[in-house]
Amino acid sequence: MLTSKSEAVWEEAKEKGDFASFLPWLEKVVAFNLEFAELWGYEGHKYNALLEPYEPGMTVEKLDVVFGELRRRVVPLVAAIGDSPQKPDASVLRGKFDFDQQLRFSEFLLKEIGFDFEAGRLDKSVHPFATGLNPGDVRITTNFRDYDLTFSLFSSLHEGGHALYEQNISAELTGTLLATGTSMGIHESQSRFWENIVGRSKPFWQRYYRDLQSHFPALSGVDMETFYRAVNEVKPSLIRIEADEVTYNLHIMIRYELEKALFSGDLRPAELPGAWNDKYRDYLGVTPAHDGEGVLQDVHWSGGAFGYFPSYSLGNMYAAQIAAAMRREMPDMDERIARGELAPLKLWLTERIYRHGKIRTPNELIVGATGEELNPSYLVEYFEQKFKPIYGLV
C-alpha cells in the first residue's frame, strides 16, 4: 500500500522537480526497508539484506572491491575521452524515421540473433521490457521515436537478449520455480551482451549496415564508419537511461553509494538531493538544474526497490567477462559476427548460461562459464580496446 501511494506522489514530484513533497513518503519507504533488513537477516552490512533478492550472494564487501576498481579506471578514461578533439558526429543519427520500417528492422535483427517468433512476439510500449511467461511464451516490447532510429534498434536488441535467456531455459525446468534467470545481474548481462558487445560492434555493422540503409534511405549518404562511431558516442549526461555504455556505470555507482549510506545511517533521506548533486559533479562533471532530472529521475526508490541498481553494472561486468571467455574458445568470433553467423554465439550462451535457468547461483554460473569469479578488469579492457581507437587515444 505504501509503495503504491509513494509511486503516485513520486510521479507528480518528478514532473514538478519537487523533492520536498516526496520526502515524507521516501522516509517511510526507507524505514520499511530498514525493518525488512532486520527481519530478513544479514551478515556484515545491513544493505546486504537488500542486495540478496536481486543478486543472491552479492555483498557490500564484494561490490566495494569491484566498483572501486571500475571507478579507478573508468573515471580517467571518461576524462580522456572528454578531452579528445576526435569526437564522433552524432548528428548523422537524427532525422525522420518511419515507424513501420523501424518495426520491420527490429524484427529482422531479432530473428538474426535467434529470437523465436513462434515462442514470442514484439510489440510497442512506452518503455521497453521483456517478460517470460514460460519458455514457449516470451514477449518483448520497444518504443519507437520517429526522430531517433537508434532507440528502438538497440532497445530491441537489449530486450532480445533478455528474451533469448528465457526462451532457451531447459525444457526440464518448465513449470518449476527454476525456469527463470538466476539473478537480475546475470539477466542484464545477456541484454548488454547482445545490445552493446555485439550490437554496437564494428563487425556487426559491417554485416548489417547495408540492410539498415535499405530500410532507411536517409542513411544512404552516411558511411558505415561514421555510423559506427556515432552509435558509440561517449558523453557525460544527467539521465541514467540515456547514458552511453561507459558513463552508465558511473550513474549506477552513484546510486549504490547513496543507498549504502542511507542504510548505514551515514545519510538521511532529506540529504539525498545535495549528496546526489555533489556526486554527479565529481563523477560526471554535470549538475542537475532541478531535482526532476536529478534525485527524482528514477522510479525505483518510490517502489521500495533498494538494492536493485547494482545489478545493472554487474550485468555489464558479467557480459564483458563472458565475451572474453567466448573469444578464448571462439577466436574467430568477430569474423563470424561480420558474416552474420550469430547462431554459434547463441549456442555457446545456451550451453553455459541459458539452459541452467535458476539451478546455479550467479557466482556458480559465472565461474562455470568463464573459469573465474567476477572480475571488473574485463569490462575496463573492453572499454579501452573499443573506445580508445574511436577517440584517437591510441
**pLDDT tier at 321 (50, 70, 90 boundaries)?**
very high
Three-state secondary-structure class, residue 7: helix
Whole-number pLDDT of residue 394: 76
Mean pLDDT (whole number) for 204-223? 96
pLDDT more than 90, % of the chain: 96
> What's the mean pLDDT when you consider all of the chain?
96
State the first-to-last Cα distance of the chain, in angstroms, to the nearest integer: 55
Whole-number pLDDT of residue 72: 93
The DSSP 8-state label assigned to residue 141 in this structure reads E
- Give the whole-angstrom CA distance, residue 384 versus residue 324: 14
> Is the CB of residue 77 less than 8 Å from the CB of residue 384?
yes
User: Which range among 17-31, 129-143, 224-238, 256-270 shows the weakest confidence by mean pLDDT?
Assistant: 129-143
Whole-number pLDDT of residue 126: 77
Whole-number pLDDT of residue 3: 96
Strand order in the sheet with 137-142: 120-124, 137-142, 129-134
Q: Please, what is the Cα angle at 208 between 331 and 107, to 5 degrees?
A: 110
Task: Provide the whole-model pTM.
Answer: 0.95
The one-letter amino acid code at 97 reads: F
Greater confidence (110 vs 127) lies with: 110
> pLDDT tens digit string along 246-303?
999 999 999 999 999 999 999 999 999 999 999 999 999 999 999 999 999 999 999 9
Mean pLDDT (whole number) for 108-123? 98
- Give the whole-angstrom CA distance, residue 192 versus residue 245: 9
**pLDDT tier at 242 (50, 70, 90 boundaries)?**
confident
Class at the top of the CATH hierarchy for domain 90-236+312-390: mainly alpha
- Give the whole-angstrom CA distance, residue 341 versus residue 348: 13
Beta strands in the chain (DSSP E): 120-124, 129-134, 137-142
Evaluate if residue 369 carries a pLDDT over 80.
Answer: yes
Whole-number pLDDT of residue 186: 98
> pLDDT tens digit string along 37-93?
999 999 999 999 999 999 999 999 999 999 999 999 999 999 999 999 999 999 999
Q: Where are the alpha helices (DSSP H) in 198-357?
A: 202-215, 224-230, 248-264, 272-284, 310-329, 333-338, 343-352
Mean pLDDT (whole number) for 181-191? 97
Mean pLDDT (whole number) for 102-120? 97
- Give the whole-angstrom CA distance, residue 242 versus residue 210: 26
Evaluate if residue 19 carries a pLDDT over 80.
Answer: yes
The one-letter amino acid code at 229 reads: R
Query: What sign does the dihedral 242-248-250-252 (CA atoms) show?
Result: positive
**pLDDT tier at 224 (50, 70, 90 boundaries)?**
very high
User: Which range among 122-131, 136-145, 308-317, 326-335 shows the weakest confidence by mean pLDDT?
Assistant: 122-131
Mutual angle of helices 248-264 and 19-40, in 10-degree steps: 70
Cell (9 digits) for 50 = 537488500
Strands 129-134 and 137-142: antiparallel
**pLDDT tier at 220 (50, 70, 90 boundaries)?**
very high
Whole-number pLDDT of residue 31: 97
- Give the whole-angstrom CA distance, residue 105 versus residue 94: 17
User: Which range among 146-155, 187-196, 332-341, 367-376 shows the weakest confidence by mean pLDDT?
Assistant: 146-155
Domain boundaries in the chain? 90-236+312-390
pLDDT more than 70, % of the chain: 100
> pLDDT tens digit string along 150-182?
999 999 999 999 999 999 999 999 999 999 999
Provide the annotated active-site residues: 159
Whole-number pLDDT of residue 127: 78
Whole-number pLDDT of residue 341: 98
Nearest residue to 263 via CA among 50, 54, 39, 20: 50
User: Which range among 192-196, 211-215, 240-244 shows the weakest confidence by mean pLDDT?
Assistant: 240-244
- 150 membership: H or E segment, kind and range: helix 149-167
Evaluate if residue 140 carries a pLDDT over 90.
Answer: yes
> Is the CB of residue 180 less than 8 Å from the CB of residue 187?
no
